[in-house]
Structure 1
Amino acid sequence: METAMTALFLSGALCHLLVLMIGLSQGVHSVPVPTDLPMCTASEPAQYSLTFSGKWTRAAFPKQYPVYRPPAQWSNLIGVTHSLDYHMWQRNEFASNGVREFAEKSEAWTLMKEVETAGERIQSVYGILSAPAVVGGTGQMDTEFEVFARHSLMSFMVRIIPSPDWFVGVDSINLCNGDKWKESVTLELFPYDAGTDSGFTFSSPNFETIPQDRITQITSSYPSHPANSFFYPRLKHLPPIAKVKLTKIKKTNQIISLPMEPTQSNLLPTGNEIEETLINTPLDCEVSVWSPWGLCKGKCGESGVQHRTRYVIMHPANNGVACPLLEEERKCIPDNCL
């Protein structure tokens, strides 16, 4: 009898624990811990500086480059340091409500609540980092953050402005290598579509995607639609639209100076950390379909002439293919002749 009661008690306790674990996991953007990644065994925390550099120039991305209402620019940067069992966002997965709001509107309140929930319930998030917006397609923003052995990964997002729901960012970059911290990491960044808005161009009106799509990387051929602002069928790959550099800060007894203000100009910053070659992406001319043939004009009894026209949708840039003829004519028999 005592054995049966003990088994019943243990069974109830396990059931209660299972219910508790399920309750804690609800609403938390987490995934099973990967088993193929080495665990970080660094004994001391590390501090890093982050420099985000915008490379969104009219020469590199000439198609529909936004020059006003609003001009090309970047939102503030929102990021987290976290453990292996957390993802702020993930390619080929659905965006959370917080990621949706940030990618569409640059609003971070819901995203921060999601981060806070993950930190409180499953201790996956250690810290939040942010950096001010960049007013212009080029320029820099800087910030600093700290990582620990259990929270050795960093993720962040920066919204592309203007855009339907496009952003750049990093998902779970691991700054630890065994028992050592990496000295420096540099990554080129490419645009992502959050899968929540169906606009094709930078200035598209809000058009909700129903049902929601997964987060996908935008390429020179995807989405395969000529209206897409990043559609460059002559290119195998888009040029990087931004870059991030993470540098381990060496410990000193000196007071650490505050980060510099971000560059807010339309000129590429100069310095060893910025690549020095400007990219000129060729943009071919795009024209409309031909209009219907016009009326046949001429004297009765003689051959006449009629015309049709088309117009330029996109002017060429950077030695792209020139526009073809915009008007054609052909001989015809005059109309309304008796």
Structure 2
Amino acid sequence: MEASRKTPSFSDALRRLLVLMLTLIPAVGSMPVPTDVPMCTASETAHYSLTFTGKWTQAAFPKQYPIYRPPAQWSNLIGVTHSSDYHMWQSNEFASNGVREFAEKGEAWTIMKEVETAGERIQSVYGILSAPAVVGGSGQMDAEFEAFARHSYLSFMVRLVPSPDWFVGVDGVDLCDGDRWKDKVTLELFPYDAGTDSGFTFSSPNFETIPQDRITQITSSFPSHPANSFFYPRLKHLPPIAKVTLTKIKKTNQIISLPLEPTQSNLLPTGNEIEDKLINTPLDCEVSPWSPWGLCKGKCGDSGVQHRTRYVIMHPANNGAACPLLDEARKCFPDNCL
């Protein structure tokens, strides 16, 4: 019986060990690059123009609309062309230090360093682009950039000024469709909260969020607090606060440098401003709670009258609900008569 046994060779033992390892650790063999990400096979480099249009008007967003110190406006745009494995920012993820500084203060140096580091380490970033600030809630800014097959995605951010940590932007819009570049892409933009400051209004003082929260989209009902500047309970959806149009062009242009000051050209009215004035968001009147009932005024032995009052917190706009009565009276009997 013993003579019929065969001693396993070293190669057989190694083969069995490898099979055992693959059986016990299936994840090792299941980590290839995801196949659901479409690959761009366009051969030539594409050149695009970017037009950012602000739609932040008092008619569309009447609640606490910033009129002065400072008035509603947009910061400069900071963006990047990159591959599918890079994210400048992501909804429902934590903001980086660079995104935090830009969303809170409009400072772009840290986020630019983060972009440069990603480009050097994993070569997922191709170029940085920027556009000058818009001095006003409506108006536009323009930039040009280039992209090629390996870096066919665009991400950018623009900060709302004033705001605690609110911004608009896109996270990885793909400009390539198989073997060809898209001729035009238009996207409506809505506000996001960076999750680093807990202010509710445009002019809230600094109030750091501890612990830091995730980046979330602001809606007409979220955050669900009546003090929030974007809280419009009558609306199912907020109107877009901005839009971006990406148009493929033929001429070649270098990536532009980051501007330091807004340009006067952005103060000129555009056709979009006329369109924006047609968006009228209704804003209902908001009043304070009632005060306590006042003293009962009247002669002893006879019925008197006492009053209570409330005041207007927010006046109605754009055919919103009118304010209710601010003074109320009722009959009473003086209780301090001798």
Residue identity opposite 2:266 in structure 1: Q
Is the Cα–Cα contact under 8 Å of residues 195 and 216 in structure 2 kept in the other structure?
yes
Structure 1 residue 95, shift from structure 2 partner = 0.4
In structure 2, do the counterparts of structure 1 residues 96 and 274 end up closer, same or farther at CA, with 3 Å as the change threshold?
farther
Give a deviation string over 1:277-313, Cα, whole Å, max 9, x none: 6200000000010000001111111101100000001
> Aligned residue for 1:219?
219
Q: Deviations over 1:65-120 (max 9, x none)?
A: 00001000000000000001100000110000000000000011110110010000
Matched residues in 2 for 1:120 and 1:183: separation?
30
1:230 and 2:240 matched: no
Q: CA deviation at 1:276?
A: 6.6
Offset at residue 54 of structure 1 (A): 0.3
SS in 1 for 2:36: coil
Residue identity (%): 84
Contact 2:55 2:276 in 1 (8 A): no
SS in 2 for 1:51: strand
Larger Cα Rg: Structure 1 or Structure 2?
Answer: 2
Q: For residue 100 of structure 1, give the secondary structure of its aligned residue in structure 2.
A: helix
Looking at structure 1, the residues matched to 150 and 44 of structure 2 have their Cα atoms a distance apart, in angstroms, of 11
Amino acid at match of 1:314: M
Distance 1:248 1:37 in 2: 22
Counterpart position of 2:271: 270
TM-score, normalisation: structure 2: 0.86
Q: Deviations over 1:220-268 (max 9, x none)?
A: 000000000000000010000001000000248xx99x9xx67433x75
- In the alignment, which residue of structure 1 is the partner of 2:139? 139
Q: Which amino acid aligns with 1:135?
A: V
Aligned match of 1:113: 113
Amino acid across the alignment from 2:51: T
Task: Please list the CA deviations of residues 102-156 of structure 1 after superposition, one character each: whole Å capped at 9, or x if unmatched.
Answer: 0000011110110010000100100000000000000010000000100000000
Q: Secondary structure at the match of 2:155?
A: strand
SS of match in other structure, 2:76 = strand
| C-alpha distance 91-235 of structure 1, shift in aligned 2 (>3 A) | same
Alpha carbons 1:50, 1:244 under 8 Å: kept = yes
CA contact (8 A) 2:57 2:276 kept: no
Are residues 162 and 290 of structure 1, via their aligned partners in 2, closer, same or farther at CA, if it must alter by over 3 Å? same
User: Judging changes above 3 Å, is the alpha-carbon distance between structure 1 residues 292 and 152 closer, same or farther for their aligned structure 2 residues?
Assistant: same
Given that residues 101 and 110 in structure 1 are in contact (C-alpha distance below 8 angstroms), is that contact kept between their aligned partners in structure 2? yes
Counterpart-to-counterpart distance in 2, 1:34 and 1:53: 35
Take 1:39 and 1:280, find their aligned partners in 2: how far apart are those partners? 42
CA distance in 1, matches of 2:265, 2:216: 29
Find the counterpart in structure 1 of residue 178 from structure 2: 178
Q: Structure 1: how far apart are the matches of 2:225 and 2:284?
A: 15
SS in 2 for 1:243: strand
Q: For 1:101, what is the secondary structure of its paired residue?
A: helix
Change (3 A) 1:34 1:285: farther
Residues of 1 paired with 2:72 and 2:312: CA distance? 23
Amino acid at match of 1:318: N
> Structure 1: how far apart are the matches of 2:310 and 2:166?
32
**Code of the aligned partner of 2:190:** F
- Using the size of structure 1 for normalisation, the TM-score is 0.86
**In the TM superposition, what whole-angstrom CA distance separates every residue of 1:154-180 from its partner, at most 9, and x where no partner exists?**
000000000000000000000000010
User: Is the contact between residue 33 and residue 85 of structure 1 (CA under 8 Å) also seen in structure 2?
Assistant: no
Check 1:34–1:281 CA distance in 2 against 1; reply closer, same or farther (3 A cut): farther
The within-5 A match list for 1:79-228 is 79-228=79-228
After superposition, the C-alpha distances for 1:194-224 in whole angstroms (9 at most, x for unaligned) are 0000000000000000111110000000000
Instruction: Go from structure 1 to structure 2 and tell me whether the alpha carbon gap of 1:241 and 1:34 turns closer, same or farther (over 3 Å shift).
Output: farther
Q: Distance in 2 between matches of 1:64 and 1:277?
A: 17
Give secondary structure in 2 for the equivalent of 1:170. strand
Paired position in structure 2 for 1:39: 39
Aligned-pair Cα RMSD in Å: 2.3
**Over 3 Å off, 4+ runs:** 261-265, 273-277
- Deviation of 1:334 after TM superposition, in Å, equals 1.3
For structure 1, list consecutive stretches of 5 or more residues without a partner in the other structure: 8-31
The one-letter code matched in structure 1 to 2:200 is F
Amino acid at match of 2:189: L
